[in-house]
Amino acid sequence: MGEKQVCVGAIAGSFGVRGEVRLKSFCTDPQAIADYGPLTTEDGKTAFEVKITRPIKGGYAARLTGITTKEEADGWRGTSLFAPRARLPHLSDEEYYHADLIGLEVFDPGGVSLGRVRAVHDHGAGDFLEVTGKGAELLIPFTMAAVPMVDIAAGRIVADPPEASDE
């Protein structure tokens, strides 16, 4: 699996007794998850074609190839589903997939390395970049003020993190 994979959803358990799963979509257009298939497990060893059967509370009821019983569906509960980055829609300027940001080196405005993006978190108030390096960990708000430049092609981000408060 040399191609970059992006997590587009997860199996939340079974739905009914005939092998349907509860599918949570992480896509901007949630129903589009079925368009990016086949979807694979994180290790790439299992692939599923996805057929959404109907919307349900918190996601969709769906049929995944190879899952035919409630017990099999329950066995896949918690499994993240991935699609190749190349199958996902092209984003407009200043929009990024989290997977594209992870691993980029982060520099301050003076060119000093702050570390690399380890993860992108969203706790409801906007995205934060988790940057690790030099024995420290930073959480930087992913806003234009704090992150004025992202250059995916060059593999770098310029960030001007807000000063920490001593209160």
> What CATH number should be reported for the domain holding residue 11?
2.40.30.60
The 10s digit of each residue's pLDDT in 33-89 is 999 989 999 999 999 999 999 999 989 999 999 999 999 999 999 999 999 988 888
Specify the pTM: 0.73
> What CATH number should be reported for the domain holding residue 125?
2.30.30.240
The last residue of one of the domains, among 57, 87, 117, is 87
The pLDDT of residue 164 is: 55
The last residue of one of the domains, among 54, 87, 120, is 87
> What totals of helices (H) and strands (E) does the chain contain, helices first?
2, 13
* Domain assignment of residue 167, yes or no: no
Same domain as 70, residue 123: no
Question: How many domains in the chain?
Answer: 2
* Domain assignment of residue 152, yes or no: yes
Separation between Cα atoms, residue 31 and residue 152, nearest integer Å: 28
* Domain assignment of residue 12, yes or no: yes
Q: For 100-113, what is the mean pLDDT? A: 92
Same domain as 112, residue 83: no
Same domain as 48, residue 121: no
Confidence check: pLDDT of 1 > 50: no
Same domain as 54, residue 16: yes
The residue type found at 115 is G
Tell me which residue range forms the domain holding 56. 5-87
The pLDDT of residue 2 is: 58
Average pLDDT score, the chain: 89
Half-sphere exposure of 17 (CA within 13 A, CB side): 0
* Domain assignment of residue 165, yes or no: no
Query: Kindly report the CA angle at 153 between 28 and 103, in degrees rounded to 5?
Result: 70
The pLDDT of residue 34 is: 93
Same domain as 64, residue 19: yes
Same domain as 109, residue 69: no
The last residue of one of the domains, among 59, 87, 115, is 87
Q: For 133-162, what is the mean pLDDT? A: 90
